[in-house]
């Protein structure tokens, strides 16, 4: 039986992740929208999608979801943050005081490739995947520092854009906005 997977559904591109998980072969009835600590208790994995980190951080703190996620991560729950999700997982955000879950030993720089109008798509080779993937960058962060326990999975123009620390995955880009499900399958197998 497939494990129940949650997608943080406070804000952002959560529906696209749900669709990608289904395309990756995960049963739709075992994918849940997560908005509360009670919702989180029903799943064994969590995706934190793109969105606006300040708003999501405030709402997570208000509902207590932040502490529930931190506790589950320390228990070994696989967690994947895309774009804003990676910012939320980071230990530190450059030049900005903001809430984070402090679960990935990385420092990130927000909007490293510029504003929304500078969004782009590119082919990207990711460690652990057989084929290059199509990666969509929208106001994407980059990793500027990382601890020795963090594995770099992908770079773009010498910028780190995908990392993994144990069962926690962070990507700067949005694989859920493409038809490629390799990263979703990778996450499901963590």
Residues designated as active site: 83, 174, 176
The three-class DSSP label of residue 5 is: strand
Contacts 24+ apart (CB under 8 A), 92-96: 92/145, 94/144
What is the C-alpha separation between 82 and 84, in angstroms, rounded?
Answer: 6
For tokens 């780190």, what's the residue? Answer: 160
User: CB–CB of 21/5 below 8 Å?
Assistant: yes
Q: What are phi and psi of 151, to 5 degrees?
A: -95, 130
Q: Which residues pair with 104 in a beta bridge?
A: 90
Q: Is the dihedral of CA 128, 126, 53, 89 positive or negative?
A: positive
Other C-beta atoms within 10 Å of 22: how many? Answer: 14
């Amino acid at each position: 039986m497939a494990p129940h997977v949650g997608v943080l559904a406070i804000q952002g591109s959560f529906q696209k992740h749900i669709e990608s998980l289904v395309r990756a072969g995960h049963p739709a009835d075992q994918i849940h929208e997560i908005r509360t600590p009670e919702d989180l208790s029903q799943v064994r994995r969590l995706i934190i999608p793109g969105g606006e980190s300040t708003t999501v951080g405030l709402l997570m703190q208000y509902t207590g979801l932040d502490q529930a996620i931190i506790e589950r991560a320390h228990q070994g729950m696989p967690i994947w943050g895309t774009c804003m999700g990676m910012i939320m997982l980071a230990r530190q955000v450059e030049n900005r005081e903001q809430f984070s879950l402090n679960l990935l030993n990385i420092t990130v720089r927000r909007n490293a490739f510029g504003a929304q109008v500078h969004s782009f798509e590119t082919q990207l080779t990711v460690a652990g995947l057989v084929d290059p993937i199509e990666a969509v960058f929208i106001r994407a962060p980059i990793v500027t520092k990382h601890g020795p326990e963090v594995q770099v999975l992908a770079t773009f123009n010498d910028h780190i854009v995908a990392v993994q620390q144990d069962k926690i995955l962070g990507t700067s880009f949005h694989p859920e906005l493409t038809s490629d499900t390799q990263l979703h399958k990778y996450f499901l197998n963590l």
